């Protein structure tokens, strides 16, 4: 079945892979699925944090007379 998704390759410690395998098996999912969701969540959190930091920077610079 062809996919339109991009491929990313990474290297991880054996212990981390074993934990991912256990997690994936427990949720009846693939390791790829688990890792993809973790990456998406991390990006969302980073973007949200970046927006909050931008707001703080903007409000701080407005209040300082700059």
Helices (H), 1-66: 14-26, 31-63
When pLDDT is cut at 50, 70 and 90, the band that residue 52 belongs to is confident
What are the residue boundaries of the structural domains of the chain, listed by start? 14-52
Tens digits of per-residue pLDDT, 2-46? Answer: 789 999 999 999 999 999 999 999 999 999 999 999 999 999 999
Task: Please compute Rg for the chain using Cα positions.
Answer: 19
Place of tokens 């969302």: 44
Q: Which two tokens stand for residue 66?
A: 């700059």
pTM: 0.71
């Amino acid at each position: 079945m062809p996919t339109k998704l991009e491929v990313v390759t990474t290297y991880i410690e054996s212990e981390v892979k074993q934990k991912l395998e256990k997690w994936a098996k427990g949720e009846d999912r693939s390791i790829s699925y688990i890792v993809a969701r973790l990456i998406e969540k991390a990006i969302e959190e980073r973007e949200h944090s970046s927006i909050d930091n931008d707001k703080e920077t903007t409000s701080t610079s407005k209040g300082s007379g700059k």
